Amino acid sequence: QMNANDCHDPPKYWTIHGLWPDKAEDCNRTWHFNVTEIKDLMSDMRHYWPDVLHSSLNRTQFWKHEWDKHGTCAATLEVLNSQKKYFGKALELYQHVDLNGCLLKAGIKPSSSYYKMTAIKEVLTSFYGVTPKIQCLPPEEGEEAQTIGQIEFCFTKELQLVNCMAPKSESNPMQAHLKLGTEQLSVCNDTLPTYYPSEVQ
């Protein structure tokens, strides 16, 4: 849906957006991204954490952004206190959560017919024992269905799964809405039919 993008072969599976600490006071903004520190992780990074917006231009742009904005803050935890640990642990958590496997087991697959958001939530909650935050693109003009866009899992500082709470205040717009290119993701509406597309046309 983005005009100037370069998204040629979007993956047919859920990928990583990032690993984001909630409180971001102690970020070391002078700690610049250095791709050589994660060279051992490269094949997994390209597969599970691809940059679908700037793929041919510079494959590391998305990772640099995630490190600068979130990784430098997450690094206050010892288990995340280097680029290798930050990206490596995010990949590990992704494999551990195995969202692709969970949805597939429950028979929730990209489809042209709609799902009930409550049914998707129930599957995830019973599988993981915690409630993730599911975000959608709202219906376009004249359409009835929202489109599932992102599923956010929450962890304690010990990196154990925990319920995601709705943001206490909407004063931080970044928590409530996430700009994705020109589109806006927000927490899905429980009552709207939900489209889970194989590719967003």
Return the active site residues: 17, 66, 70
Rounded CA separation 49/142 (Å): 33
- DSSP-assigned letters across all residues of 31-82: ----GGGGGGGHHHHHHHS--SSSTTT-TTHHHHHHIIIIIHHHTTSGGG-S
Rounded CA separation 46/65 (Å): 15
Rounded CA separation 110/89 (Å): 28
